[in-house]
């Protein structure tokens, strides 16, 4: 089998997705975002995860020029030989899975978290991470925006990241919109935007506004296909597959930790000194609780 067939098929999906029906767009997006799961799972399991019908998957395969759904899936199955995804239960997970009903919930959630961290990290390219680090370090201003559940990830990235990147600003500020705070942004500045399915209108509009002003865009998200019209300098994709009703952020947090490690290393002595100054300030102002000694 041609080892490049999976890549060619994925690229064809990306190019053709705008012309697909709504259901086929959903199915194509799932295949693009989760190629290993697509190659491993049955058609019924893929339909369940993608939230489409099996008919949609079969129809998409035919639309892509394959004789059958299995022929469409075969390149992805073949590529699994090199996949590092977590498949078998470790002993400690298997022990809980067999213990009770809640043990199964525990096991499924734990295995899912391990799997999406692996997926999220293994797909990253070292050169791109180096380029992103240089882009952020060299920018005069770096804006960071997110809303709702994604805001938690943005807040953490800002709280720690500003020690290596003092130009980092979390927006919106003072209950404004992100666009308000981007009004003074200049060409060459950078916007980091974090958003996951269903994508925030405010965040996507802030990205589009920033691009019109010549601001460089780093998108941290759960898909290579967010808004086809939105051109980014870099997109970092994390898996957010979940066993419950809301996206699981384990993979995204692992990706953010990876980015912060690069920034801390690139920040060098200045970053280490800044961290020390923050720590000294907190200690001097009794920021940390200390147990009182008993007399």
Q: 3-state DSSP call for residue 198?
A: coil
* Cβ-contact 274, 166 below 8 angstroms: yes
pLDDT of res. 47: 94
Angstrom CA distances, 239 to 122, 128, 155, 174, 292, stand at 11, 18, 19, 31, 44
pLDDT of res. 3: 47
* Cβ-contact 257, 263 below 8 angstroms: no
Angstrom CA distances, 287 to 164, 271, 278, 290, 293, stand at 21, 21, 11, 10, 18
Q: What does DSSP assign to residue 199?
A: P
Residues of the chain predicted below pLDDT 50: 1-3, 82-86
pLDDT of res. 171: 96
Q: What does DSSP assign to residue 286?
A: T
pLDDT of res. 79: 67
CA-closest candidate to residue 144, choices 178, 183, 181, 193: 193
| Residue in this structure with the two tokens 């975002």, named with its chain if needed | 33
What is the Rg, in whole angstroms, of the alpha carbon atoms belonging to the chain?
A: 22
Strands lying side by side in the sheet with 190-194: 168-171, 142-145, 190-194, 216-221, 234-237
Who's near 15: CB < 8 A, 6+ residues apart?
none
pLDDT of res. 5: 65
Angstrom CA distances, 79 to 37, 62, 209, stand at 11, 21, 39
pLDDT of res. 166: 94
pLDDT of res. 86: 47
């Amino acid at each position: 089998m041609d080892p490049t067939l999976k890549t060619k098929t994925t690229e064809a999906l990306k190019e053709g997705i705008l012309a697909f029906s709504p259901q086929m767009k959903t199915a194509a997006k799932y295949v693009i975002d989760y190629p290993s799961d697509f190659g491993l799972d049955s058609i019924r399991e893929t339909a369940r995860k993608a939230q489409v019908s099996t008919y949609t998957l079969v129809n998409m395969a035919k639309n892509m020029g394959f004789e059958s759904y299995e022929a469409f899936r075969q390149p992805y199955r073949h590529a699994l030989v090199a996949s590092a995804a977590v498949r078998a239960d470790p002993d400690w997970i298997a022990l809980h899975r067999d213990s009770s009903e809640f043990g199964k919930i525990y096991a499924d959630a734990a295995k899912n978290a391990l799997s999406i961290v692996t997926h999220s990290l293994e797909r990253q390219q070292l050169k791109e991470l180096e380029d992103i680090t240089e882009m952020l370090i060299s920018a005069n201003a770096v804006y960071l925006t997110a809303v709702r559940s994604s805001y938690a990830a943005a807040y953490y990235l800002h709280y720690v990241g500003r020690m290596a990147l003092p130009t980092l600003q979390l927006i919106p500020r003072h209950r404004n919109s992100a666009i308000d705070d981007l009004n003074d942004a200049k060409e060459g500045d950078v916007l980091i935007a974090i958003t996951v399915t269903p994508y925030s209108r405010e965040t996507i509009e802030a990205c589009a506004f920033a691009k019109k002003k010549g601001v460089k865009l780093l998108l941290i998200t759960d898909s290579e296909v967010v808004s086809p019209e939105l051109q980014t300098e870099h997109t970092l994709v994390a898996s957010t597959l979940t066993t419950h009703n809301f996206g699981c952020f384990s993979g995204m947090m692992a990706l953010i930790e990876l980015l912060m490690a690069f920034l801390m290393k690139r920040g060098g002595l200045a970053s280490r000194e800044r961290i020390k100054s923050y720590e000294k300030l907190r200690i001097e102002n009794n920021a940390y609780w200390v147990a009182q000694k008993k007399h």
